[in-house]
Amino acid sequence: MLVTLIPLFDENLTVSAYSLFTQKHNYLLHPSYLGTGQNDGASRIEGLEVMEAMGIETLSPSHQVFVSVGNISIFSDIPGQCSAPHDRLILLIDNSIPPIEMYLNRLKELKSMGYHLAIRNLPVSSYEAYAPVFALMDYILIDSRKVDIPRVKIYFQKLYPHIKLAASNIKTMEDFKKLKEDNSCTLFEGKFFRLPIAQGSTTEVAPLKINYIELMNLVNSDDFDLTKAADIIGRDTALTILLLQMVNKMAVNSEITSIRHAAAMLGQKELKRWINTAVVNELCSDKPSEITRLSLLRAKFAENLASSFELAGKSSELFLMGLFSVLDLILDKPMDEALKLVKVSHEIEDALLSQKGALADVMEFITQYEAANWQEVSRLIVLKNLDMDCIYDAYMESLKWYRELVSIQA
């Protein structure tokens, strides 16, 4: 099973919901599933299986989740497949579900159970025929590259003012800003928020961020001094509180009150990991929260994939590579300029700047995976002889780790 969560933002770039994307099989290895075999297990909803296994609190503790439903699985026992609160789920249909009586009755039934409903991939030419379906929908997802959304907005405002418009496939920040200025949509989805910085800000990096970068450089140098790192942490109130809270939760029958004691409790390896993670979190404080989540998930996912890519000895470097993969977004500088400010290995630098070397293969896989580019992910699985179950476990473990980390810092 391949699984990923893709964020949908409001106009302030705050996450409003997630779309759960799944693919059960590698169709390059099992092409029969693209034919009649695709109906095998069609009465089950893959996204709900994942949600039931992981729990909605792990996947998305505070946001609604879009889950795709097919023209067969829509008639399945949806409440029986997933025990998550109905109002936390948005069942997402497409034009494979025709506007005929048996489907309309089922949609009404699901609506009466408290589920939210959404539709996507509907051609504008079908809007009139889908009028009875629109009457039941809470959201419509519209491809921003194919449809003139401002014009469509007028149509929905006039006939279906209750429907919230979500623009999908937004490629650039300029496209997002234009849609925002037009006041056309409620939700925005696409890769625009994580595009690499091509031209950076002319302003200098803030002094506080410089302090954080100096701390990262200290712990990423060979055999760094624990005491010196502890003293630097002690000069920053936010990091001090975070460190003491975390170590006190870990300590059994004892309370940690000294920064040096806390640093000694963690040890050099774990303190290095914690500082890199906590500092990136602080550096992202003025950025959309999804940037922090993206950085941390990439870090842990990369580390978890080390064995699958036969890079078990490079797990720590993979973690740092993932963590720093959005450093350009964090510092508002092109990646080559951003990396000049931090100490990283040549392998990490090659992976992030030139997409070369063994680490780059992992980074390429992760970026394709998080975007749910399943065809390319499937190709890489075959090319690298990867195991889908191991990939699933690696991603799910990274989600669990992230949620635990967030709960510790809360």
Single-letter amino acid code for the residue at 141: L
Q: Which of 161-175, 264-278, 360-374 has the weakest average pLDDT?
A: 264-278
Summarised one tens digit per residue, pLDDT across range 62-90 is 899 999 999 999 999 999 999 999 999 99
Tell me, what's the pLDDT at 318?
Answer: 95
Tell me, what's the pLDDT at 355?
Answer: 95
Tell me, what's the pLDDT at 40?
Answer: 43
User: Per the domain annotation, does 109 fall within a domain?
Assistant: yes
Claim to verify: residue 9 and residue 123 sit in the same structural domain: yes
> What count of other Cβ atoms lies within 10 Å of the Cβ of residue 98?
14
Q: Where residue 153 sits, what CATH number does that domain have?
A: 3.20.20.450
Give the Cα separation of 216 and 275 in Å (integer): 7
Claim to verify: residue 180 and residue 315 sit in the same structural domain: no
Claim to verify: residue 224 and residue 115 sit in the same structural domain: no
Q: Where does a domain end: 166, 193, 220?
A: 193
- 258 pLDDT above the threshold of 50: yes
Give the Cα separation of 154 and 165 in Å (integer): 11
Claim to verify: residue 233 and residue 163 sit in the same structural domain: no
Claim to verify: residue 227 and residue 105 sit in the same structural domain: no
User: Per the domain annotation, does 201 fall within a domain?
Assistant: no
Claim to verify: residue 224 and residue 163 sit in the same structural domain: no
Claim to verify: residue 13 and residue 128 sit in the same structural domain: yes
Per-residue confidence band for 36, with pLDDT thresholds at 50, 70 and 90: very low
Give the Cα separation of 93 and 91 in Å (integer): 7
Total number of domains constituting the chain: 2
User: Per the domain annotation, does 202 fall within a domain?
Assistant: no
Claim to verify: residue 113 and residue 260 sit in the same structural domain: no
User: Per the domain annotation, does 285 fall within a domain?
Assistant: yes
The domain of 372 spans 207-409
Distance of CA 243 to the CA centre of its chain: 25
Claim to verify: residue 340 and residue 264 sit in the same structural domain: yes
User: Per the structure block, which two tokens stand in for 84?
Assistant: 């998550």
Q: Where does a domain end: 161, 193, 225?
A: 193
Claim to verify: residue 188 and residue 215 sit in the same structural domain: no
Give the Cα separation of 185 and 189 in Å (integer): 11
Mean pLDDT (whole number) for 220-225: 81
179 within 8 A of 149, measured Cβ to Cβ:
yes
Summarised one tens digit per residue, pLDDT across range 175-218 is 999 999 988 899 999 999 988 777 655 556 777 777 788 888 88
User: Per the domain annotation, does 199 fall within a domain?
Assistant: no
User: Per the domain annotation, does 198 fall within a domain?
Assistant: no
User: Per the domain annotation, does 166 fall within a domain?
Assistant: yes
Summarised one tens digit per residue, pLDDT across range 376-393 is 999 999 999 999 999 999
Tell me, what's the pLDDT at 308?
Answer: 97
Average pLDDT value over all residues in the chain: 89
Q: How are beta strands 164-170 and 187-190 bridged, if at all? A: parallel
Mean pLDDT (whole number) for 331-338: 90
Q: Where does a domain end: 171, 193, 215?
A: 193
Claim to verify: residue 139 and residue 213 sit in the same structural domain: no
The pTM for the full model equals 0.88
- 157 pLDDT above the threshold of 90: yes
Residues 6+ apart with CB under 8 A from 276: 216, 219, 220, 319, 320, 323
**Does residue 2 sit in helix, strand or coil?**
strand
Region of 163 on the Ramachandran plot (φ > 0 left; ψ -120 to 50 alpha; else beta):
beta
Claim to verify: residue 128 and residue 213 sit in the same structural domain: no
Place of tokens 């629109």: 134
User: Per the domain annotation, does 327 fall within a domain?
Assistant: yes
